[in-house]
Structure 1
Amino acid sequence: MKPVFGYVTTAAVAVLAATIASGQAQQRATPPQARAAGPAPVARLPMRRNAVLPTTQALFDGYVRSGKMPGIVGAFGVGDLPTQFVTAGAQGLEPGQRPADADTLWRVYSMTKPITGMAAMMLVEDGKLSLDEPLGDIFPAFRSMKVLTDPDTSLASRPAARPITIRNLLTHTAGLGYNIITKGPLLKEYERLGILPGAVNAAVEVQAHQVRPKSLAEFANRVATLPLIADPGTKWSYSIGLDVMGAVVEKVSGMSFERFVQTRIFTPLGMTRSYWQVPRDRQGLLSTNYTFVGDKVVPLDPAATSTFLDAPSFAYGGAGLVMSARDYDRFLHMLQDEGELDGVRVMKPETVRLAMSNLLPAGVFFTGIGGGTGGTQAPVPMGFGAGGSVYLADKPNGPGKGTYGWGGAAGTIAWVDPVKRARGTVMVNYFPAERWPTRAQIPAALAQDVARLAPR
């Protein structure tokens, strides 16, 4: 999660705007008969060039040409200039696959978390939640939590020193575990009770569905029966906190979690390619998710039989969404513009600023996370906001102080720099997220493009 336009000069932005406008004028001047009637075949993909960001385009082309990934899409924006989409490759490796583009659907996994975080902050803005409200006030089962005393060998526990709060859920400081990182006896309990909020493919989902709770409320209440790994508010540990937050949003708002997100975020922002379950008539837009066996790329969740075509057990607030680059860019653009997009306001400016600030409890620090999670590394001091990390200092030639964002387990990346009004989304789908150094290479390529645009 590294921003790239964070150090663009005013003059460079002006040049960028002129370049974009010139490109749009040329496109309008192209005779209709000279334009493709539909998606270009994969064989013509090298012809799809981004003239504004040629270094980034070349990098993306190289990823595909060398077989590192079937396809990749980037969405990059500065201020309210038109979003620049950089695309390469196709939605899958099989012959005849649709080219990857701004409307291709990707599994964003943990990039769902910032959306859930903003849904919760909307309820804070509505006066229906407060950051330091005990979770037990909403779900009474959380009023008497226990903390493990010997997590490596047993489930022995003691009473928690303090209650879990809404702040703790949003910032991964609730003391909750996560089946992707938790180990030992607690992991076995998570598996036994179906605390598995995420889908991989149809085969895995059939097994998980048998033990997983059937609703968000049931999910939350089962979580409350398990001990914590630490006292709430004392440690940052990646967790199911945003999945539990989905249950909170549902109960407090009085509507299903997915309906709340649709009503308060997706619909007003014009996000028309964001789904918990991909409709069958949109299946043709869905990419295939891959994994690596040695150096071989192997389909893990083929688009034609994807588990995301079926209804989930419940809407996973921490990892459940399938989205297009165009839609995620609209979400980030709203955050960049402090709660408003295209004249439609969904959050107050002060709410957005609070959500993207460091919300960690006093004395707790975020030091980064990797290991296949898709989370942010920590090259500079970091904090944590509502579902995403926050830079607490500028990084030379990189992220600006205040940059907020997160990534996904299948390699997706998203960030927004609210100070310099810049944002970026990168969509790919393969496990593990860290297979290729995209988080270092893409910002470097973008930086070269921006430097080229700057006056000399």
Structure 2
Amino acid sequence: MTHNAGLTYRFFQEEKRTYELAGVSDGMDLTGITLEENLQRLASVPLLYEPGKMWRYSIATDVLGAVIEKVTGMPLSEAVRMLVTHPLSMMDTDFKAVDTDRLTTAYADSAGEPRRLRDFDTVPFVEGTAGFLLSPNRFTDKTAYPSGGAGMIGSAEDFLKLLEALRQGGNPILPEALDTKMTTNQIGNLVMPYWPGRGFGLGFTLLKDPAAANNTGSAGNLADGRHLWSLMVC
């Protein structure tokens, strides 16, 4: 949950590196494989660093999704529904679109000009990396495996319900002590590439130094580089 497990994402690596050669999916494309098959591919390549020694945003959240399946004895979608979305009445949120007629058109910002995403698309991330492999139809394809890190879709109203529950201490989905731990920096002074001035809790980017982050928020806010209340969760 702190993204220092020795893993990364394929889109963070250069082209033709270990994840691409092993066929690892970041959970945003359509691959025709299962979650278990994807993690077998991930397990076939070496760790990138000693766990706990570095921070790298990573596919570890997909690994956690598989752990949840083992612990609960049910598919990840059912576990998330039972533990999170139904207690919060987040009826628009799932690993598949609840109502395809309400889906917005997916766009990419390509060279400063927005364009519609193609069915199987590649979008640059930062110079020198392979970039994102994306498929807008993933959320309507019932065969797509549930990606804990990138695989859910929902409405803004649902997302606000989650944020509000966490802001008020986690009830009814978490005890307050765990909610506090989730929103407290857990990585010490480990450097977060691309996100200066930030720390990381259990699934959340935290603003540590607003000046270094070029962010107008206050220290302690949950934030990515652009938005005060952005989450990096499934």
Closer, same or farther: CA 399–350 of 1 in aligned 2, 3 Å? same
Closer, same or farther: CA 176–367 of 1 in aligned 2, 3 Å? closer
Query: AA paired with 1:288?
Result: T
Higher percent of residues as helix: 1
Closer, same or farther: CA 383–308 of 1 in aligned 2, 3 Å? same
Cα deviation for residue 394 of structure 1 reads 5.9
State how far apart, in whole Å, the 2-side matches of 1:392 and 1:414 are. 12
Match of 1:266 among 73, 85, 103: 85
Match of 1:310 among 126, 138, 141: 141
Match of 2:102 among 278, 285, 293: 285
Segments of structure 1 that go 5 or more residues without pairing to the other structure are 1-169, 370-376, 416-423, 426-456
Q: How many residues align?
A: 213
Q: Retained in 2: the 8 A contact 1:219–1:244?
A: no
Match of 1:190 among 19, 24, 41: 19
Which residue pairs with 2:173 in the alignment? 346
Match of 1:299 among 111, 116, 137: 116
Q: Retained in 2: the 8 A contact 1:269–1:330?
A: yes
1:357-396 to structure 2, matched below 5 A, reads 357-360=184-187, 364-369=189-194, 377-378=195-196, 380=197, 382-393=198-209
Closer, same or farther: CA 295–228 of 1 in aligned 2, 3 Å? closer
Q: Does 1:217 align with 2:36?
A: yes
SS of 1:191 mapped into structure 2: helix
Closer, same or farther: CA 405–259 of 1 in aligned 2, 3 Å? farther
Which residue pairs with 1:54 in the alignment? none
Closer, same or farther: CA 397–241 of 1 in aligned 2, 3 Å? closer
Q: Retained in 1: the 8 A contact 2:186–2:202?
A: yes
Closer, same or farther: CA 397–218 of 1 in aligned 2, 3 Å? closer
The structure whose Rg is larger is: 1
Which residue pairs with 2:217 in the alignment? 399
Cα deviation for residue 194 of structure 1 reads 2.9
Q: Retained in 2: the 8 A contact 1:276–1:312?
A: no
Q: Retained in 1: the 8 A contact 2:27–2:147?
A: yes
TM-score by structure 1 length?
0.43
Segments of structure 2 that go 5 or more residues without pairing to the other structure are 120-135
Query: AA paired with 1:227?
Result: P
State how far apart, in whole Å, the 2-side matches of 1:293 and 1:403 are. 30
State how far apart, in whole Å, the 1-side matches of 2:77 and 2:223 are. 21
CA distances 1:274-294 after superposition (whole Å, capped 9, x unpaired): 121114xx1121011112455
Cα deviation for residue 298 of structure 1 reads 2.3
Which residue pairs with 2:158 in the alignment? 327
State how far apart, in whole Å, the 2-side matches of 1:310 and 1:285 are. 16
Query: AA paired with 1:384?
Result: F
SS of 1:354 mapped into structure 2: helix
Q: Retained in 2: the 8 A contact 1:195–1:223?
A: yes
Higher percent of residues as strand: 1
State how far apart, in whole Å, the 2-side matches of 1:393 and 1:300 are. 35
Q: Retained in 1: the 8 A contact 2:56–2:192?
A: no
Q: Retained in 2: the 8 A contact 1:339–1:352?
A: yes
Match of 1:250 among 40, 44, 69: 69
CA distances 1:410-443 after superposition (whole Å, capped 9, x unpaired): x9x561xxxxxxxx79xxxxxxxxxxxxxxxxxx
SS of 2:66 mapped into structure 1: helix
CA distances 1:348-385 after superposition (whole Å, capped 9, x unpaired): 1001001111111x5x523352xxxxxxx33x3x2111
State how far apart, in whole Å, the 2-side matches of 1:235 and 1:182 are. 15
State how far apart, in whole Å, the 2-side matches of 1:397 and 1:313 are. 36
Cα deviation for residue 174 of structure 1 reads 1.2
> What is the Cα-based RMSD across aligned positions, in Å?
2.7
State how far apart, in whole Å, the 1-side matches of 2:111 and 2:53 are. 39
Closer, same or farther: CA 367–191 of 1 in aligned 2, 3 Å? closer
Closer, same or farther: CA 286–184 of 1 in aligned 2, 3 Å? closer
Which residue pairs with 2:6 in the alignment? 175
Query: AA paired with 1:388?
Result: F
Query: AA paired with 1:287?
Result: T
TM-score by structure 2 length?
0.79
